Amino acid sequence: MTVTLQDLRLADPRLSRFEPMRRIICFDDFDRGYCGWTQLVGNYEHTLDSMTPSYAAHTHPQLATVSHWDAGTHGGVDGTYALKIATRPKRGIRSTAIKRLTFRQAGPIRLEFYFTFKPEATELRLSETDVRSVGFLYDLQTGHEQDGLRVMPHIRFLNAEDGRHIQRWQYKDETTPLRAIGTEGKTATHDHLAPFGWKDIPGGEQKLCYNEIPTKINWHYMRFDFDLAAMRMIEMQCNDRRYDLAGIPSIVIPAMRNLWCMLNLVFFAEAETDKRVFLYIDSVCLSGEF
Amino acid sequence: MLRESHSAIIARNERWQGEATTEPFEAGWASEAVFFLRALAAEGPTGEGRAHVQISPDGIRWVDEGTSAAVPDAAEGIAVLRVAHFGSWLRLRVTLPAGATLTPIVTLALKA
């Protein structure tokens, strides 16, 4: 009997819930700690006052037990802890968590993770329209011998807007103009998550299991395939639904002088009401075909 | 296994007057924590203010844990508050007298 790489992975309970490409770049199980996920701080020079306010509002990610006032600790998919991205309690505000890598092979990569989201359980009602969205993005830049582009594929699940429960996947291919930071000509910023320019992914409606009170959560599977050679999206899958992303554009801007081969992963959440919203990530598997 | 250790920046470059609190921070994995409250800027009688550690059963309702310290009276001053046996959530509550404005950066140093 020949044992294949897939057999070995299926025999490992930590990996059998994922479908990694050939090489696992990182496997972040938050029962082992933060695994390199941290706060996305805005750029600044000489003074913190130069930071874009929407970045200054980001909070620090937490290792959470998903605990609630009425039923105690919920826990993760297979352990106690999950990464928690929490917004402040203000309508329209967002928060993020980031992991910063670089790539060594410009080819296909696959991001897989388990996620769930809820508003802070401050009311005895379902509150299903208090989370505006949750999502993820890559912040990528080509190698300096490639095309000289910074490419940022953005995907979000628009859960609710203006009190309506929308439940639709969207992408974004627009950002704000670059703004120079400070006086030394070395730092600039743009607000790629600014709340404009989100567009519907064709056929992107999806009814996710939300459960029936604000303290009951169910975990969802997500897979996102991207080609670092062509700098194009390929496909994504959430639970039982697959989405062809071959025609979906990313944000593309000229390369920056100090970001070559950048491979940053970001998760984010946006609040729809003046209530904190929480995005929980149980585990993350990033793999590549090399 | 090495002990998990993490420094979280739970407030940065805000302008605090009167009473202010940091956002809730979940850290049930940690058995000890140190709050470092550093003044990036201090205007008025900030040194008459107090910083209090707060704990919570659910991240929503808060009670003073009992540990407190004087707020720094000048820029680059650092107040230190050490706690253990704090449950799952932590935050800092700061009270400042009239006329005082504190621009803080708060580092929460956690260890399993």
Contact B57 A69 (CB under 8 A): yes
Within a 10 A sphere around the Cβ of A80, how many other Cβ atoms?
A: 17
* pLDDT mean over A28-52: 95
- Tell me the count of A-B CB pairs closer than 8 A: 55
How is chain A split into domains, by residue range? Answer: 18-208+230-288
Give pLDDT, residue B53: 98
Selecting from A41, A48, A120 the residue whose C-beta is nearest the C-beta of B60 gives A120
Name the minimum distance, in Å, from the CA of B87 to any CA of chain A.
Answer: 11
Residue type (1 letter), B46: T
Instruction: Name the closest residue on chain A to residue B105, using Cα atoms.
Output: A48
pLDDT at A206 over 90: yes
The percentage of chain A sitting over the pLDDT mark of 70, rounded to a whole number, equals 100
**In Å, how far is A96's CA from the nearest CA of chain B?**
14
| Structure confidence by residue, pLDDT tens digits, B75-107 | 999 999 999 999 999 999 999 999 999 999 999
- Residue A39: its chain B contacts at CB < 8 A? 8-9
Whether residue B13 and residue A51 make contact (CB cut-off 8 A), yes or no, is yes
pLDDT number for residue A145: 79
Q: Residue A281: phi, psi to the nearest 5?
A: -120, 125
Q: What is the CATH number of domain B5-111?
A: 2.60.120.1110
Q: Residue B110 pLDDT more than 90?
A: yes
Query: Is B26 in contact with A33 (Cβ distance < 8 A)?
Result: no
> Mind listing the pLDDT tens digit for each residue in A154-176?
999 999 999 999 999 999 999 99
pLDDT reported for residue A62: 98
Q: Which residues of A touch B40 (CB under 8 A)?
A: 48
- Long-range contacts formed by A8-17: CB under 8 A, 24+ apart: A13/A78, A14/A78, A14/A283, A15/A285, A17/A77, A17/A114, A17/A221
Which residues of chain B lie closer than 8 angstroms to A68, CB-CB?
Answer: 58
Chain A residues lying within 8 Å of B58, measured CB to CB: 67-69, 121
Give ∠ CA A110-A111-A117 in degrees, rounded to 5: 155
Q: Is A261 left (phi over 0), alpha (psi -120 to 50) or beta?
A: left
Query: Nearest-CA distance from B109 to chain A in Å?
Result: 12
Domain spans, chain B: 5-111
- Tell me how far apart the alpha carbons of residues A121 and A69 are, in angstroms, rounded to a whole number: 8
Nearest CA to B58 out of B13, B91, B99 is that of B91
First-to-last C-alpha distance (Å) of chain B: 11
Q: What is the CATH number of domain A18-208+230-288?
A: 2.60.120.200
Would you say residue A263 has pLDDT above 90? Answer: yes
The answer to whether A33 contacts B57, with C-beta atoms less than 8 Å apart, is no
pLDDT at B35: 98
With beta carbons under 8 A apart, name residues in chain A contacting B26. 62-65, 67, 84
Task: With beta carbons under 8 A apart, name residues in chain B contacting A49.
Answer: 13
- Report pLDDT for A171: 98
Q: What pLDDT score was predicted for residue A144?
A: 87
CA distance A185 to chain B (A): 23
Q: What is the ipTM of this complex?
A: 0.97
* B5-42 tens-digit pLDDT: 999 999 999 999 999 999 999 999 999 999 999 999 99
Q: pLDDT at position B1, please?
A: 77
Chain A CB within 8 Å of residue B63 CB: no
Look at residue A147 and tell me whether its pLDDT is greater than 80: no
Query: A187 falls in which pLDDT band (50, 70, 90)?
Result: confident
Question: How close, in Å, is residue B26 to chain A by CA atoms?
Answer: 6
Residue A115: pLDDT band with limits 50, 70, 90:
very high
